Amino acid sequence: MVEGKTRTFKLSTPDDYDTSAPYPLLFAWHGLGGNGGYARSYFGFQSNAHQEAIVVYPDALPLELFGGAPGWDLSEDGSDLAYFDALYEHLTENLCVDTERVFSTGHSFGGYMSNTLGCYRSELLNAIAPVAGVFTYGRQRWSAIASQNTARRIRDRLQDRIQRLDMRSYDRLDRGDLLQRCTSDVDTTQVFLSTQVVEVGRAIVMLAVAIPIMFVIDWRMATAAVWLLPLITGFSFFYFKKVRALFKDKDEAEGRLTAAVNDNLVGIRVVRAFNRQDHEIERFRPRNDDHRRLDARLYTVFSTFWSLSDLLCFMQQASVVLVGAWLLADGRILVGEFYFFFAAVGMYLWPVRMAGRIVAEFGKATVAIDRIEEILELPVETEVESEPERIPDDGSISFRGIGFAHTPDQPVLDGIDLEIADGEAVAIVGPSGCGKSTLVQLLLRFYEPDTGHVEIGGVDIRTLDRHDLRTRVATVLQQPFLFSRTIRENILLADPGADHASIEIAAGEACIHDSIQRFDSGYETMVGERGLTLSGGQRQRIAIAQALLQKPSILVLDDALSAVDTGTERSILEAIRSRRGRHTTVVIAHRLSTLREADRIVVMSGGRIEASGTHAELRDRPGLYRRLWDIQSSLEADDDRPLRRGEEASS
């Protein structure tokens, strides 16, 4: 049955129709759902038959549209479908409907017309459907591949930039936030490119095609169809600025959240050792709450925009219906023209209704791109502009007038002048924070000195290629980093082309070969993340094996023996001394017994060189070295003294 808002209409046979009435308005829809639901919702009709037809006479509009039509009857058994077919032929033959326009626009407007006026019978549409399917598949596949390739290139550029970052820039970065920029922000960009860019393109093409056609057909209907678009567009721009600011705050909060999780994962042993689990949980909660609060604000803005957008779209469609009904009643437009406008508005308003999501994703993507760009714009290590100098075979080192500070108000080195001869073994001692390790980092060009320069073999290292420089200078740090790989792979980082025999020789000189052999998998043993499955001494000795495998001109041990026992320390130093003359050795240490065999000892304090000489010379000379030696000697004597009864408990 076909019901109006106030009464039931009966539709009998085509003979009952007054075909003399001008331009009857025909709506037909197929099935209980589909696009016909739009017509039912606007005209107040409810469907309870699988296929129905309504004829409305314009000279009675708008009364007939909203419930005041004469009695029509449609048989409940569906047999009157034949009458509908006859009616369709009659109407189209008498040009009551502009069938050419209906057929030409039906499929392109998303199926609105394919179920209207029998267009579903069109062989043309049946031929177009497979082509449209292939086109849709190709478009989706192309957008997916293009977005994935773009994301891959962004990740490659980020990795390349991070590997070449200036160390001052790297020191200022939050590791957790950097990780998020390289993963989450890249994924956000990829999702936008793969989905929303296509939707934006479809909306632009649809508006660019539909609006001019509508104005060509009838400017009054076209005006009714687009008059709210400027308001919707302006509203969308306002919304974009709002969500972009919120997305920026949310991303920064998410970065802080990621950093907190990363810190706890890296320092989990320290946290548990000091029973700080509850403290870390409480410290995490404010960051988590801040992220939740910003997320809630974001979705509040989303829901507000989507609701207002739906209201404006409804007003736009209602305008088309009302103006179209008035023009149709006056006979100024054809039925096909009316339905063309109705279908066109329905189609281009769909992406407008989706504008909230598109604008939100665009705002999120622009924030992600900006955060990625911040990394890509950070300064990198400078390279030699002209042809780099050839690194000399001479391993002598000269620090000339070196001044350096991480921040202007905290100088680390002040006027350092130091000469180290080729093949000489020099030890550097001094209190923590006096600048010993900074000298090593300047030698490797991790940082550039603020004043002065460093030379190797009489050549300013700023004129050398960084890769060549770091190949000739091997450094072992106090806290060496091992990758989550096998022991063999970690040692091979220094020389990927070395054979296994060379690995074993280097490991033997570092006094780690026997320990490795005791592992079930030997050199193929996985060391775990950061080498945490090994002891501190084992990690240091593997790092020393790396440096020895490199066969450098200059070997630097930056407190690299602090975690090994005295006997192992002597063995390692003996192996290094046996190489004396083959490379220059710089040893930084706090344990003075380690330094007694050095050719020369340099004492630093407050960023300056306080004294220089052999162990015997400095021990007999008043000053910092003598005080340190006396303190350590007395402590070692106390350690060697046997405990007397009664002292055990206090010890």
Residue ranges of alpha helices (H) inside 113-174 are 123-163, 167-172
**Comparing 93 with 270, which gets the higher pLDDT?**
270
Q: What topology is assigned to 397-625 in CATH?
A: Rossmann fold (3.40.50)
* Cα distance between residue 583 and residue 587, in whole Å: 13
37 close to 19: Cβ distance less than 8 angstroms: no
542 close to 479: Cβ distance less than 8 angstroms: no
Pull the structure tokens for residue 544. Answer: 């020393």
Q: What is the pLDDT of residues 393-447, one digit of tens each?
A: 888 999 999 999 988 778 889 889 999 998 888 999 988 888 888 898 899 888 8
Q: What is the pLDDT of residue 34?
A: 33
Enumerate the domain spans of the chain.
2-96, 165-376, 397-625
Residue 435, phi then psi, degrees to nearest 5: 110, 10
232 close to 352: Cβ distance less than 8 angstroms: yes
CATH number of 165-376: 1.20.1560.10
Mean pLDDT within 379-405: 83
Tell me the C-alpha to C-alpha distance, in Å, between residue 352 and each of 200, 209, 256, 349, 632. 10, 15, 35, 5, 78
Q: How confident is the model at residue 76 (pLDDT cuts 50, 70, 90)?
A: very low
Sheet holding 451-456: strands in order across? 410-420, 397-407, 451-456, 459-460
Q: What is the pLDDT of residues 577-624, one digit of tens each?
A: 776 667 888 988 877 777 887 889 999 988 899 999 988 888 888 888
Pull the structure tokens for residue 149. Answer: 């390739």
Q: What is the pLDDT of residues 471-530, one digit of tens each?
A: 888 888 877 888 888 989 999 988 888 899 999 998 888 888 988 998 888 899 888 777
Q: What is the pLDDT of residues 90-115, one digit of tens each?
A: 444 443 344 433 433 333 334 444 44
**Comparing 24 with 640, which gets the higher pLDDT?**
640
393 close to 468: Cβ distance less than 8 angstroms: no
Does pLDDT of 30 surpass 60?
no
Least confident of 200-209, 223-232, 477-486, 491-500: 200-209
> Which residues are registered as beta bridge partners of 600?
426
**Mean pLDDT score of the chain:** 74
On the question of a common fold for 165-376 and 397-625, the answer reads: no
Mean pLDDT within 131-145: 74
Which of 496, 563, 492, 550 minimizes the C-alpha distance to 524?
492
Q: How confident is the model at residue 264 (pLDDT cuts 50, 70, 90)?
A: confident
Q: Output the DSSP codes for 9-73.
A: E----GGGS-TTSSS-EEEEEESSSTTHHHHHHHHT-EE-SSEEEEEE-GGGTTTGGGT-PPP--
Number of H helices, E strands in the chain: 23, 15
Least confident of 149-158, 263-272, 493-502: 263-272
Q: How confident is the model at residue 249 (pLDDT cuts 50, 70, 90)?
A: confident
